[in-house]
A and B are shown apart, each in its own frame.
Chain A
Amino acid sequence: MSTSDSPHAASYTSHVLKKDEIMKSNFNWRTVSFAVLLALPGLAAAETVKIGVVLTYSGGAAQFGQQIDRGMNLYIKQHGDELGDHQIELIKRDSKRPGGDIAKTAVQELITREKVDILTGFVFSPNAIASAPLVTQGKVPMIIMNAGTAWIPNLSPYIARVSFTMWQSGYPMGTYAMEKLGCESSASGYTDYPPGKDSVAAFKTGFEAAGGKLIDEIPMGGPREVPDFTPFFQRVKDAKPDCFYVFVPAGNHASAVVKTFADLGMAEAGIRLIGPGDITQDTKLQGMGDNAVGIVTMHHYSAEYDTPENKAFVDAWKAEYGADTTPDFMGVAGWDGMAAIFHVIKTLDGKIDAEGAMDALKGWTFDSPRGPIMIDPDTRDIVHDVNVHEIVKVGDRLTINVLGTIPQVKDPCKALKIGKCGQ
């Protein structure tokens, strides 16, 4: 038991005691004082930091939870000794699906019963959004490892994000589509939940600011199950835009998008498929086959990046989890997120409080496998390079060709103060 926890636990216990339990109450107090006395000499060291991890560990979204989990564990394995005498304890909870309800219950339990010092994970935006009020009330720092809806850090002063925002890819993609890909008209299709709406709003803003004409914006079902995309894509094919911007959650949705696009012969009809990197996720890319060739995405990570940091990361990953596995942007977020947590623990010497954690993270820089990253001191959101990926085939393998880089992109939604990003 850690010294900082004990008095809390004891006073909580004494509140709920009834009269006939006085004897027991005295006994508790004595034990606690004894424990505190024993622990006093070691007060400066040996804290156990409890980290509540909320990820999707079951169902169709289990692949995301696994990516982030592996990224975190790899970092802990390689850097665990840097914490000195401090220990970390991961308490994992399954948020199952994107609805928000299960995640919120898990966060409540982690805060009130497990008394975690830090919360992390969060694959789906609704899960992070539903949990935000609880971390404000419970004063627990929350470090987001995926959920990309731009305005999430605005929901609580104790949220920081190491992953990405939908606007960091959508907005520059809009500009790039008009100026470099020569797409004068575009349609967009999105999975109908917060990050989807966010992503197409970002694309629209960037695209129209550059002078492009957005002819259609199509909601394509919810995030939980992969729909048959055919009617939506056929609608776009018949409207014949130059570019078709698609946001869907990574994973199985992405595979279905690329397949439907090919089945309908949309590339042959002169339509180019573009989107955030979610639609050409590394773990799904090879399975997409030739259908993926020619897709242009805006993204902050690919396992194909030829940098020493990334090579070391990918090699360590394959050595740990098997040669046929590959990290993707979620695995990297797990790695970077754990690095951020380590930074917080070291800075605060194991005694975590929400304000202190946020102060430690503001302006934090790190050499991530994706490139240099920073936590923006003003917004507590990630700042990183964003790259234009074109999917190409080299030999039998699909890989990416980096067409361009936009260095150190801050979230455009908060910079432009659009909608909830301005609050």
Chain B
Amino acid sequence: MSQFGNVLVSIIFDGLAYAMILFIISVGLSITMGLMGFVNLAHGVFAMAGGYFTVSLMTGFGVGFIPALLLAAIGVAVTSLVLERLLYAPLYDASELDQVLLSIGLVFMASATFTFFFGPDPVSIRVPSVLSGQIDLGFRSFPTYRVFMIMVGLIMITVLWLGFERTIIGAKIRAAVDNRRMAESIGINVDRLFKITFALGSGIAAIGGGLAVDILGLSPSFAIQYLVLFLIVVAVGGLGTIRGTFVAAIVLGVIDNAGKYLWPEGGAFFIYAVTIAILLLRPAGLFGKE
């Protein structure tokens, strides 16, 4: 393969693997923000909790990687429902500032709590040996885990898209995102709908957190460290859209990788430049409603 082709493949491949993590973690945030307009800065906490859940199940109880991910998703989804009732629900009608203060406070509390139980050092994960090392795809070899990551991301978007577009509950969510009052007036229980999406989004974020450990690492500062990135994905994609989050994750993931690969001195600058450019042209995001 030509040098240029090789570089292009490197950038796109790594960018896609990164994008899938961004997508899986951010999609729940996009939907819940679109549905309720709740500014939940603590969304990354659910991903972080998922990561710690997965690692603890694997090292403490010898659970396999995939079962641990699924158990983490269920555990985090249930916990998030409790938090939703206790902490979030009372603030649904409060101002955005109150919501921001509550949720950023939760981030700091979560950081301290996880530091207390797991220590300040990053934890690592032993992925199954079939997922580590290199895989030869004919024309060149790729890190197996990242190939797996891309596959999981593609399965996730397919399932979510089908669920969103082809089921009654998906239709209700779309209706509520488009026009909440109208949806309520034709008898859709938006409150209950929100609880379901909140739990679902948290559970999916937990899977994303578990998957991300091997690539992004995991420490008690995870939720704050990547907060901006998740918010950027949601803002660029537009609120309440699965397709938008997916496209935004891919655009930002690939551009971030291209920037670091081609011009390391510029480092993380590209992703912000692109974000600013897109939001100047489309303030509501790529697929958001104006």
Interface residues of A (CB under 8 A from B): 58-60, 62-63, 192, 218-221, 225-226, 228, 230-232, 234-235, 237-238, 252, 255-256, 262-265, 268, 287
Interface of A is mostly: helix
Residue of A nearest to B257 (CB): A231
- Inter-chain contact A60/B14, CB cutoff 8 Å: no
Docked CA distance A256–B123 (Å) = 11
Q: Which of B14, B119, B267 contacts A230 (CB 8 A)?
A: B14
**Is A226 within 8 A of B132, CB to CB?**
no
Known contacts: A219-B264, A221-B267, A235-B264. The answer to whether A59 contacts B7 by CB under 8 A is no
Instruction: Please tell me if the beta carbons of B10 and A234 are within 8 angstroms of each other in the complex.
Output: yes
Per-residue CB contact flags for chain B residues 109-141 toward chain A (1 = under 8 Å, else 0) read 000000000011110100000001110000001
* CB of B252, distance to nearest CB on chain A (Å): 14
Q: A23 vs B225: C-alpha distance in the bound complex, in angstroms?
A: 57
Known: A63-B121, A219-B265, A263-B143. A238 touches B7 (CB 8 A): yes
Cβ contact of B217, chosen from A59, A218, A226, A234, cutoff 8 A: A226
Q: Knowing A228-B18, A234-B10, say if A218 contacts B264 (CB, 8 Å).
A: yes
In the complex, B216 has a CB within 8 A of chain A? yes
B-chain residues with CB within 8 Å of residue A268 when the two chains form the complex: 134
Measured between alpha carbons, how far is A59 from B134 in the docked complex, in Å?
A: 33
- A220 cross-chain contacts in B, Cβ below 8 A: 264
Contact (A287, B120) CB under 8 Å given A219-B264, A219-B267: no
> Is B95 interfacial (CB-CB < 8 Å)?
no
Contact in complex: A235, B261 (CB < 8 Å): yes
Chain B contact-residue range equals 20 to 34
B18 — which chain A residues lie within 8 A by C-beta? 228
A263 to B148, CA, bound (A): 13
Chain B residues with CB under 8 Å of A221's CB are: 267-268
Cβ–Cβ contact A252 & B122, under 8 A: yes
Q: How far is the CB of B134 from chain A (nearest CB, A)?
A: 4
Q: What's the Cα separation between A228 and B18 when bound, in Å? A: 9
Provide a sorted-by-A list of 14 A–B residue pairs whose CB atoms are within 8 angstroms: A59-B120, A221-B267, A225-B221, A228-B18, A230-B14, A231-B14, A231-B261, A234-B11, A234-B14, A234-B261, A235-B10, A262-B133, A263-B132, A263-B143
Distance between Cα atoms of A225 and B119 in the complex (Å): 16
B215 at the A/B interface (Cβ < 8 Å)?
yes
| A59 proximity list for chain B (CB < 8 A) | 120, 221
Cα–Cα, bound, A263→B7 (Å) = 17
Q: A219-B264, A221-B267, A264-B143 are in contact. Are A226 and B122 (CB under 8 A)?
A: yes
Inside 8 A of A263's CB, which chain B residues have their CB?
A: 132-134, 143, 145-146
The residue on A at minimum CB distance from B134 is A265
- Do B120 and A60 touch (CB < 8 A)? yes
Q: A234-B261, A238-B10 are in contact. Are A255 and B143 (CB under 8 A)?
A: no
Residues of A within 8 A of B180 (CB): none
How far apart are the CA atoms of A170 and B194 in the complex, in Å? 57
Max chain A Cβ within 10 angstroms of own Cβ: one of B120, B141, B221, B225: B120
Given the known inter-chain contacts A62-B121, A226-B217, A265-B134, please indicate yes or no for A232 contacting B261, CB distance below 8 A.
yes
CB of B260 within 8 Å of the partner chain: yes
A-B contact count (CB 8 A): 75
* Residues of A contacting B141 in the complex (Cβ-Cβ under 8 angstroms): 265
Cβ–Cβ contact B7 & A252, under 8 A:
no
A220 to B268, CA, bound (A): 10
| A260 to B, closest residue via Cβ | B143
Q: A221, A231, A235: which has the most chain B beta carbons within 10 Å?
A: A231
Q: Which B residues touch A235, using CB under 8 A?
A: 10, 261-262, 264
Check B6–A58 contact: CB distance below 8 A: no
Q: Is B32's CB within 8 Å of the partner chain A?
A: no
A129, chain B: closest CB distance, angstroms: 22
Contacts of B10 in A (CB 8 A): 234-235, 237-238
Say yes or no: A238-B264 contact (C-beta < 8 A), given A60-B121, A60-B221, A231-B14: no
A255 to B107, CA, bound (A): 27
Q: Which of B122, B143, B215, B260 has the most CB of A within 10 A?
A: B260
Q: A220-B264, A232-B264 are in contact. List 17 more A-B contacts (CB 8 A).
A: A62-B120, A62-B121, A221-B267, A226-B122, A228-B18, A228-B215, A230-B143, A232-B261, A235-B10, A235-B261, A252-B122, A252-B219, A255-B124, A262-B133, A263-B133, A263-B145, A265-B143
Asked whether any CB of chain A lies closer than 8 Å to the CB of B185, the reply is no
Q: Interface code B140-160, partner A: CB below 8 Å = 1, 0 otherwise?
A: 010101100000000000000
CB distance from B121 to the nearest CB of A (A): 6
Contacting residue for B219 out of A60, A232, A287, CB 8 A: A60
**Shortest Cβ gap from B108 to chain A (Å):** 13
Count chain B CB atoms within 10 A of each CB in A237, A256, A263 and give the residue with the most: A263
Chain B residue at minimal CB-CB distance from A62:
B120
A293 CB to nearest B CB, Å: 15
Distance A255 CA – B126 CA, assembled complex (angstroms) = 13
B264 smallest CB distance to A (angstroms): 5
Please name the residue on chain A nearest to B135 by beta carbon. A265
Within 8 Å CB of A231, what residues of B?
A: 11, 14, 257, 260-261, 264
How far does the Cβ of B153 sit from chain A's closest Cβ, in whole Å? 16
What mask results when residues 159 to 173 of chain B are scored 1 for a CB within 8 Å of chain A, else 0? 000000000000000
Most buried by A among B7, B119, B122, B132: B122
What residues of A have a CB within 8 angstroms of the CB of B145 in the complex? 263
Q: Which residues of B contact A218 (CB under 8 A)?
A: 264
A263 to chain B, nearest CB (A): 4
Q: How far is the CB of B231 from chain A (nearest CB, A)?
A: 17
A268 → B minimal CB distance (Å):
7
For B226, the closest partner residue in chain A by CB is A225
* Residue in A228, A237, A256, A268 with the greatest tally of chain B CB atoms within 10 Å: A228
Bound-complex Cα distance A218 to B263 (A): 9
